[in-house]
Amino acid sequence: MGQITKRSYKLSDGRDIIYFDDADTVLPPERGDDLREPAVRPPTATMRQDVLTGEWISIAAARQNRVVLPPSHLDPLAPASPENPSEIPSPYDVAVFENKSPSFGPDLAGVAAAPEGLDDLALVGLGRSRQSVGRCEVVCFSPEHTGSLAGLPLSRMRTVVEAWADRTAALSALPGVEQVFPFENRGEAIGVTLHHPHGQIYAYPYITPRTAQLVRTIESYGGSLFEDILSFEQKSERVLLQGEHWTAFVPFAARWPLEVHVLPHRHVPDLAATSEQERDEFSRLYSRLLRGVDALYDTPTPYISAWHQAPVHAHRDDIRLMLQLTSPRREEDKLKYLAGSEAAMGAFIADIPPETAAARLRDAMEKAGLEPFRTDLPEPELPTTERPATERPDTELPATEQETAQP
């Protein structure tokens, strides 16, 4: 099998688009130009500080104009055609491009009213505002209008993982970016606006509230928090899948009816720091996990899949990379809504014991014919890379054999 190949181009309005070709791709290397007339990009949003919490809220009014659940022949994430001048000019395996209506960016640090670093953002006061600098990208998992990550072939899943790692490295190197967050919203119950299988990546100009709380927990507990969590969960009945490099489990204090955490066995701060072997195994484990999640009911399970990564410039030795997959679905026809206690006070009440949720998911995987995840059996060949993964996100990602740029 060959190698995953990265090819970088520009859209007509100057936005970046990057094609990631599968190791076993059948696509030609050339990509076409974006033939649309250049459009004016919306201005960078403004974020305002909530003085009650110190948190920053991005006011991104341009997002009101985004397309909502278009028909297949007008899918903006499908390869462009004469009838559908979409966001992606050419056929592709995996494509990543800058969001047309971003919550953060396109401006970066250095513009007027941009944040002046984490110390500036930590100050609390009335009427404080800053530019929402950063970057938002769309990650298209497939050229097909419908489908899901769970249904992709293994080689495509591996390409998606490589794209996440590549973009984590690239976005972490941008001026003013403090945290990078790859995620997937799946299903109308979650609020998706496009049926096309895709995810997103946000590059924030601050450390997110969830991560800030984690920092406070580590300061209270100690630096061995993630190592201890992994050891504790691996001994529990909540383990779902376990390999040489990763363990998937339902956490001890799960908030959601379906909640799965996936932790690497060694400390890595983000996806860019994972090794080729870790990415290979994760691709297999995650594919199996998602197929089990979809086997729970007769219809696809809505979920949010979120990569929690260490901040770019702080706490990299303390915060370990973790995937968290959550779903509000508590029965075939019932959803958990965040009402008074959860939405207003942040005080969750769980409907399903985590041990019960883990047993349900293991049963679903068994009924779907998914054998227990084992590392002592031969696995399908996966794409290779030329050099080992880097330990820092500000170096070139080594997972591609070729990169071309369009002026």
Query: Which are the contacts of 162, defined by CB distance < 8 A and separation ≥ 6?
Result: 4, 20, 279, 383, 399, 400
Sign of the C-alpha dihedral, residues 113, 114, 118, 121?
positive
- Tell me the two tokens of residue 280: 């290979």
In which element (H, E) is residue 97 found? strand 94-98
> Does the active-site annotation cover 261?
no
Distances (CA, A) of 270 to 158, 181, 323, 386: 17, 10, 10, 20
Indicate if the alpha-carbon torsion angle 235, 240, 241, 245 is positive or negative.
negative
Cβ 253 vs Cβ 232: under 8 Å? no
CA distances from 7 to 59, 165, 242 (A): 33, 15, 34
User: Residues 196, 198, 245, 261: which is the catalytic one?
Assistant: 198
Rg (CA), the chain: 21
Q: Which two tokens stand for residue 43?
A: 């201005």
Q: Is 258 helix (H, G, I), strand (E, B) or coil?
A: strand
Q: What is the DSSP string of 261-310?
A: EEEESS--SSGGG--HHHHHHHHHHHHHHHHHHHTSSSSPPPEEEEEE--
What distance, in Å, lies between the first and last C-alpha atoms of the chain? Answer: 31
DSSP 81: B
What is the Cα–Cα distance from 320 to 316, expressed in whole angstroms?
8
Active site residues: 198
